[in-house]
Structure 1
Amino acid sequence: MRIRRVVTTREGGASAPPYDSFNLADHVADDPAAVAANRKRLTDELGLSAVCWMEQVHGRTVTVVDGSETAPAEATDALVTATPGVAVAVLVADCVPILLADAGAGVVAAVHAGRVGARVGVLPVTLRAMTAAGAEPGRIEALLGPSICGECYEVPADMARDVEAHLPGSLARTRSGTPGLDLRAGLWRQLADAGVGKIGVDPRCTAEEPSLFSYRREGTCGRIAALTWTEAE
């Protein structure tokens, strides 16, 4: 199987400010018609038979999908599929989007890892669900997508220490010297410790990159998407 991955930007869509313009989230009070137009453009331009979405709640529930679903997966922060041509998608505006794939098994996953989800272990639960579907950790390739960086993500000191205790490697310092979190660093270590074969990182910081949405920077804003799927070679 060939693995495909796409990370969108905020540009080229139908949404008006402050969601301008390629907002793909339907839970941020954007015009539903604009969101539907943006999602249709995404599906059409990528030539996908289906895109599976989820109602993200900052938890660790994983849902297995096959493209027959007619609504987003409820109360879920990771999607797994083994159906070719069906994309699984995660929406973010500072949280870490994680795309996972085992080409040999034809199994892919999209994970929403914000501070809470990363702390409670959404990533290890997803890896177990992929393994149950036939994937092997040593064959899995991972992409940690654009998210807020440790130099921008300021949090209270107690919170930073608490997350570090559950997600080692995530403790950071901001540019101003205050306590911060680098969730991608902690998640990278978690993937490596799990034996994941290849780990890539998109280094862009959502708070610094104007072509991406950032809740920390803007407050009210849209969401970009990270998607992955398989194709027959």
Structure 2
Amino acid sequence: MIGQRETVRTTSGAHFAFTDRWGGVSAAPYEELNLGGAVGDDRAAVLRNRELAAEALGLQASRTVWMNQVHGPDVAVVDGPWATDADIPAVDALVTTRRLLPLAVLTADCTPVLLADPVAGVVAAAHAGRPGMVAGVVPAVVEAMVGLGADPARMVARTGPAVCGRCYEVPERMRAEVAAVEPAAYAETSWGTPAVDVSAGVHAQLERLGVRDRQRSPVCTRESHDHFSYRRDRTTGRLAGYVWLD
């Protein structure tokens, strides 16, 4: 079963979806629906999992555009899947105006950010971990969408399962450095130590950019055994967020 699916239908037909860890073919410690191709899992299993996820969403796996995620602010505008022999660029956000071209973002604690302006026909997927959020991947992807005719006031934003501020423990110095860039990310764990809330930081940035229609998943990946969590398990699979236009 592909879990956490949420679909937003508008005049132009924008769709958002997030997976959980079940319904795939990967063996432990990647069981079952690992969609990450660079975590040590069997390549054939990952490709089959991507096919299963796409089929469940009514998409073509071969049309899905993935990223070589590096925790940075760079954005790629795409109009089709990468060529089979192409080097996938090191970016943490994708934007397209092409219909039926799914964009995908991989996570296992970081915040997956899906965006759409259905009127302009522009969608985007971004990978916002702590470094990427601080580096400005969210403002960068919104700026790229605006460059293609999108309007933040019309944008719809959905963030998926991610580690919550109650569970993302960091050294005090790191919390201070993050909060100096994004105060909304300042947090404390449930056991009283310094923490960072990346999803809160992402939503604060979107708010300042003028994106009002936003929803945040209530799922904490570290707390949920239905989701992969790098901080909890270290060697584990990857979830995916998908966004596309009809």
Alignment TM class, shorter chain as reference: over 0.9
What are structure 1's unaligned runs of at least 5 residues?
none
Name the SS for the 2:184 alignment partner: coil
Could you tell me whether the CA contact under 8 Å between 1:63 and 1:73 is conserved in 2? no
Question: By how many angstroms is 1:72 displaced?
Answer: 6.8
Q: Kindly report the root-mean-square deviation, in angstroms, between the aligned alpha carbons of the 2 structures.
A: 1.0
Q: Which residue of 2 aligns with 1:57?
A: 70
Per-residue CA deviation, residues 68-127 of structure 1 (Å, 9 max, x unaligned), is 422573111000011000110000000000000000011000000001000110000000
Q: Which residue of 1 aligns with 2:212?
A: 197
Q: 1:68 to 1:19 in 2, by over 3 A?
A: closer
Q: Give the length in aligned residue pairs.
A: 231
Give the TM-score of the pair, scaled to structure 2.
Answer: 0.92
Q: Which residue of 1 aligns with 2:7?
A: none
Question: By how many angstroms is 1:21 displaced?
Answer: 0.7
Give the TM-score of the pair, scaled to structure 1.
Answer: 0.97
What are structure 2's unaligned runs of at least 5 residues?
1-11
Name the SS for the 2:112 alignment partner: strand
Choose which of 59, 63, 67 in structure 1 pairs with 2:80: 67
1:77 maps onto 2:77 in alignment: no
Q: Which residue of 2 aligns with 1:26?
A: 37
Give the percent of matched residue pairs that are identical in Structure 1 and Structure 2: 48
Q: Which one is further off, 43-52 or 203-212?
A: 43-52
Question: By how many angstroms is 1:157 displaced?
Answer: 0.3
Question: By how many angstroms is 1:219 displaced?
Answer: 0.7
Residue pairs, 1:1-233, within 5 angstroms: 1-49=12-60, 50-70=63-83, 71=86, 73-231=88-246
Question: By how many angstroms is 1:46 displaced?
Answer: 2.2
Q: Which segments of structure 1 move beyond 6 Å, counting only runs of 4 or more?
A: none
Question: By how many angstroms is 1:67 displaced?
Answer: 1.8
CA distance in 2, matches of 1:6, 1:196: 19
Could you tell me whether the CA contact under 8 Å between 1:172 and 1:180 is conserved in 2? yes
